A and B are shown apart, each in its own frame.
Chain A
Amino acid sequence: MATRSILGKIRSLNPLRNWIVPKIVLRLAGAGIVTHVILSHGFDVVSPYGISMLPTSAHDGDWILLDKTKRRGRNIKVGDVISFKHPIMPYYGLKRVIAMPGDFVLAGSPDAKGGELEGQMMQVPDGHCFVAGDNQKFSRDSRIFGPLPLALIQGKVTMFLWPLHSFGPPKGGLQDPES
């Protein structure tokens, strides 16, 4: 009995107890914050734009599922398509990882648009990876801006969701030599 009256007194202090509309607003705001955290730390659905990943990803209109639990390079391996914070420009990039720390790469290729690494072999330094677009002729990637710090990786592309003919994991990743 005593407990009920104390709870009753606390409840009566709640200014929103009789207001339906603010309750709905609060519920929506709560759902919004939870969704935001899920999208930024868990999984996100994004639509990339650009021709640097043709034919894997179309110029426009694709929808992909991004696994953000693989931020900062956890469990990323060569052949994964990743989303990363661009080291130079204030947007995000989508490219394929072609080398991890310690691997040797041809740092600049004749197709690379400019860049100072033309024709040089380099060893990918600790903590960095080398990314390249599938459409090498029209891709500005690590052949231009150098190795990408693993800490800038935002997530890994696990699935293409739309259009339906490209549904499934990104094509062109590492294949088991046995199969």
Chain B
Amino acid sequence: MGIGIHLWRLTVFGCCIISINDHVLQVAAITGDSMAPTLSPTYHETGEEDLVLITKFRKTPQRVDSSTTKAWNINHIKRGDVIFFWTPMNNTEKLSVKRVVGLPGDTVVPEKRVRYGAGYKGVDEADTALDVARDLVKNGGKIGGPDTVIIPYNHVWVEGDNSDKSMDSRDYGPISLALMTGKARYVMWPWHRAGPVVTELVKTKTKTKITPGVFRPPVPKEYME
């Protein structure tokens, strides 16, 4: 029994942990108060971070045909879910956690706000979410009128529960579900708030109006073979 076999076992153990973390369950600390009071309600005063259990999704691409609604994870998302996703703006190495408030096909009238957080490289700070959505027009995404965005195929509108302190879809428009890594399911710490994460829409101070769509947009025509 040399050092080699122990190193090997340690490597296998480490890789098991990494694989479980990537594909099954992950525990994460919520920094920031964009989801207060649901998650980390006292972060602003005490810096206390909630620990949250995240369930991961199957990311294996599936065969696509013209009737598919499979996309990345779309069948597993419902309004009100709290999801983890890679931040599309400002720091792409950071995971964000926000609540899904709009599904593909919904009509959104975003709150007009000056972009939260200053210092975006090369972008005019007076841009609103609507301007961003115009810049990020994804195929099938339409501007329904001067004030509205229709959420395109495979995208969702996310907002933090703490509307004033949250950088979310009102700043960067609808996000692709390919960015999502998992759903927040349980609060594990602190004990007195441990329990399942609330997955219904909560009342927030946001001025965004969302009208649920009657049907989900189909696969964009350029991708139907």
Contacts A91-B61, A116-B137, A140-B223: A85 and B178 contacting too (C-beta < 8 A)?
Answer: yes
- Cα(A114)–Cα(B123), bound, Å: 27
Q: How far is the CB of A52 from chain B (nearest CB, A)?
A: 12
- Whether A125 contacts B12 by the Cβ 8 Å rule is no
Q: Taking beta carbons and an 8 Å cutoff, which residues of A are in contact with B?
A: 30, 33-34, 36-37, 40-41, 72-74, 85-92, 101-102, 113-117, 122-123, 125-128, 140, 144-147, 149-152
Contacts A146-B138, A149-B92: A90 and B222 contacting too (C-beta < 8 A)?
Answer: no
User: Which residues of the partner chain B approach A117 to less than 8 Å between Cβ atoms?
Assistant: 137
Q: Does B204 contact A (CB under 8 A)?
A: no
- Whether B72 contacts A126 by the Cβ 8 Å rule is no
- Interface stretch of the complex, out of B13-21, B183-191, B195-203: B13-21
- Whether A102 contacts B19 by the Cβ 8 Å rule is no
User: Which residues of the partner chain A approach B220 to less than 8 Å between Cβ atoms?
Assistant: 88, 144
Q: How far is the CB of B198 from chain A (nearest CB, A)?
A: 26
- Whether A125 contacts B62 by the Cβ 8 Å rule is no
- Cα(A86)–Cα(B177), bound, Å: 10
Residue among A37, A72, A102, A122 making CB contact with B86, cutoff 8 Å: A72
On chain B, the number of residues with a Cβ less than 8 Å from chain A's Cβ atoms is: 46
- Whether A147 contacts B135 by the Cβ 8 Å rule is yes
Query: How many contacts between A and B, using CB within 8 angstroms?
Result: 122
- Whether B15 contacts A122 by the Cβ 8 Å rule is no
Across the interface, name the chain B residue whose C-beta is closest to A92. Answer: B61
Q: How far is the CB of B100 from chain A (nearest CB, A)?
A: 17
- Whether A34 contacts B15 by the Cβ 8 Å rule is yes
Q: How far is the CB of A1 from chain B (nearest CB, A)?
A: 18
18 more A-B residue pairs beyond the given contacts A85-B59, A146-B136, A147-B135, with a C-beta to C-beta distance below 8 A: A30-B8, A33-B15, A33-B16, A34-B12, A40-B22, A74-B93, A87-B176, A87-B179, A88-B71, A88-B176, A114-B222, A116-B137, A126-B90, A126-B121, A126-B122, A146-B137, A146-B138, A149-B88
User: Which residues of the partner chain A approach B132 to less than 8 Å between Cβ atoms?
Assistant: 125
Residue among B62, B93, B121 making CB contact with A90, cutoff 8 Å: B62
Across the interface, name the chain A residue whose C-beta is closest to B93. Answer: A72
- Cα(A126)–Cα(B88), bound, Å: 8
Offer 7 A-B interface pairs, CB within 8 angstroms, sorted by A: A33-B12, A73-B92, A126-B123, A149-B179, A151-B87, A151-B179, A152-B178
Binary flags per residue of B31-64, CB closer than 8 Å to A gives 1, else 0? 0000000000000000000000000000101101
User: Which residues of the partner chain B approach A150 to less than 8 Å between Cβ atoms?
Assistant: 92
Q: Does B216 contact A (CB under 8 A)?
A: no
- Cα(A33)–Cα(B222), bound, Å: 38
User: Which residues of the partner chain A approach B93 to less than 8 Å between Cβ atoms?
Assistant: 72, 74
Contacts A89-B71, A102-B122: A149 and B176 contacting too (C-beta < 8 A)?
Answer: yes
- Whether B138 contacts A87 by the Cβ 8 Å rule is yes
User: Which residues of the partner chain B approach A149 to less than 8 Å between Cβ atoms?
Assistant: 86, 88, 92, 175-176, 179
- Whether B16 contacts A125 by the Cβ 8 Å rule is no
- Whether B18 contacts A41 by the Cβ 8 Å rule is yes
- Whether B89 contacts A88 by the Cβ 8 Å rule is no
Most buried by B among A85, A90, A144: A90
Most buried by B among A36, A74, A145: A145
Across the interface, name the chain A residue whose C-beta is closest to B9. Answer: A30
User: Which residues of the partner chain A approach B92 to less than 8 Å between Cβ atoms?
Assistant: 72-73, 127, 149-151
- Cα(A127)–Cα(B90), bound, Å: 6
- Cα(A134)–Cα(B16), bound, Å: 39
Binary flags per residue of B145-175, CB closer than 8 Å to A gives 1, else 0? 0000000011000000000000000001001
Contacts A36-B15, A113-B222, A151-B86: A90 and B72 contacting too (C-beta < 8 A)?
Answer: yes
Across the interface, name the chain B residue whose C-beta is closest to A31. Answer: B12
